[in-house]
């Protein structure tokens, strides 16, 4: 049991909850954070929401959970950031921090002497992840994306960390969990560099903040906190038994242009099926995309406008 739980400028005694802002190194950027120091001994769980400022359901769910969780029912500690990317949230920006146009999700473990995105990643890595036993980075389809609820787990960490991450994933009410081989993401960096079982969860999208998505997110997080014996609450039975995806394709635009998508998130597709096409501004087809194998669509861009190297579709082979 920690008599006093300290995160940067915030501190909470046993059985206390504290809310406030923490500073990002020598900048004017601040992140809203809630720390809960439980009444009993237990693990520490870190939850970050809003790494991408336009992914609204996860942010609202985090804000509500931070307000509603009773420290007296907590064993251990809970850290909730809501949101991480305040600049992107205020500016309604998709994916990036507007000051440096970088995606925080792609710059971990960060750099204390880098740009603002790299400094945010550095603080999360060295001030927040450093104190965590488990980590949940909660996301959703961005302003321009629709998606099927699913989870990513780290595929390149130690075997025990991968297994613990998969066990957490099975507590969520989603149909698929997907192996990730990235090394510079929020959750993969935590798993690989700090041996923390970690997940990235996706739910919601299209710039909407649907109450049903917020409700499902809260239900999922309460479930996993209960499974980890961090929160005393009833475990809700899941509708899905998640299936594993070990191979996924992430299509990116080869050129700027106008995007038409022929498939939807959650749709099962066949090898060779036409997924979409990009035209120039005169309606001439410049790129056409086909499925490499039978799979399920995890997410797709719904925007008509796309730029070179921007995301179009992700699909995964079902094991």
Place of tokens 């804000």: 63
Place of tokens 């001994």: 41
What is the CB neighbour count within 10 angstroms for residue 181?
11
- Of the candidates 128, 32, 80, the one whose C-alpha atom is nearest the C-alpha of residue 231 is 80
Encode pLDDT of 161-171 as tens digits. Answer: 999 999 999 99
Mean pLDDT over 243-268 rounds to 97
Residues 41, 121, 56, 195, Cα dihedral to 10°: -40
Encode pLDDT of 207-227 as tens digits. Answer: 999 999 999 999 999 999 999
Question: Counting Cβ atoms within 10 Å, is residue 317 exposed (0-12), middle (13-18) or buried (19+)?
Answer: middle
Per-residue pLDDT band at 1 (split at 50, 70, 90): low
Per-residue pLDDT band at 319 (split at 50, 70, 90): confident
Place of tokens 């009993």: 40
pTM: 0.96
Domain at 246-318: CATH architecture:
Beta Barrel (2.40)
- C-alpha separations of 192 from 34, 80, 279 in Å: 26, 21, 40
Encode pLDDT of 71-83 as tens digits. Answer: 999 999 999 999 9
**Does the pLDDT at position 33 exceed 70?**
yes
Encode pLDDT of 40-59 as tens digits. Answer: 999 999 999 999 999 999 99
Place of tokens 């998606």: 147
- Which tokens hold the place of 124? 């999360």
What is the CB neighbour count within 10 angstroms for residue 237?
7
Q: CA 129 to CA 196: how far, in whole Å?
A: 8
Encode pLDDT of 82-138 as tens digits. Answer: 999 999 999 999 999 999 999 999 999 999 999 999 999 999 999 999 999 999 999
- C-alpha separations of 182 from 23, 85, 101, 155 in Å: 28, 21, 20, 8
- C-alpha separations of 112 from 12, 58, 121, 126, 127 in Å: 26, 27, 9, 10, 12
Q: Where in the chain is the domain with CATH 2.40.50.100?
A: 246-318
For the chain, give the mean pLDDT: 96
Backbone angles phi, psi at 235, to 5 degrees: -85, 125
CATH fold of 4-227: Aminopeptidase (3.40.630)
State what percent of residues in the chain have pLDDT above 90.
Answer: 96
**Does the pLDDT at position 277 exceed 70?**
yes
Q: Where in the chain is the domain with CATH 3.40.630.10?
A: 4-227
């Amino acid at each position: 049991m920690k008599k006093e739980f300290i995160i940067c400028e915030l501190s909470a005694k046993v059985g206390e909850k504290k809310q406030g802002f923490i500073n990002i190194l020598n900048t004017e950027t601040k992140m809203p954070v809630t720390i809960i120091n439980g009444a009993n001994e237990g693990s520490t769980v870190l939850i970050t929401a809003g790494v991408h400022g336009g992914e609204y359901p996860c942010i609202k769910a985090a804000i509500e959970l931070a307000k509603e969780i009773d420290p007296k029912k907590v064993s251990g500690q809970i850290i909730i950031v809501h949101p991480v990317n305040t600049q992107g949230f205020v500016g309604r920006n998709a994916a990036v921090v507007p000051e440096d146009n970088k995606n925080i999700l792609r710059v971990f473990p960060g750099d204390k002497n880098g740009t603002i995105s790299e400094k945010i990643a550095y603080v999360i890595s060295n001030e927040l992840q450093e104190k965590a036993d488990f980590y949940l980075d909660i996301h959703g389809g961005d302003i321009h994306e629709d998606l099927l609820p699913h989870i990513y787990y780290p595929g390149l960490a130690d075997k025990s960390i991968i297994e613990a991450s998969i066990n957490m994933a099975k507590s969520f009410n989603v149909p698929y969990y997907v192996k990730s081989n990235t090394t510079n993401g929020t959750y993969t960096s935590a798993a690989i560099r700090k041996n923390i079982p970690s997940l990235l969860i996706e739910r919601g999208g299209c710039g909407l903040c649907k109450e049903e998505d917020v409700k499902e997110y809260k239900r999922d997080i309460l479930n996993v906190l209960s499974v980890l014996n961090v929160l005393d609450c009833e475990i809700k039975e899941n509708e899905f038994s998640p299936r594993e995806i070990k191979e996924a394709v992430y299509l990116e635009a080869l050129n700027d242009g106008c995007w038409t998508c022929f498939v939807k998130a959650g749709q099962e597709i066949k090898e060779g099926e036409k997924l979409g096409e990009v035209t120039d501004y005169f309606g001439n087809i410049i790129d056409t995309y086909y499925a490499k194998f039978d799979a399920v669509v995890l997410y797709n861009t719904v925007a008509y406008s796309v730029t070179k190297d921007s995301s179009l579709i992700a699909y995964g082979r079902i094991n």
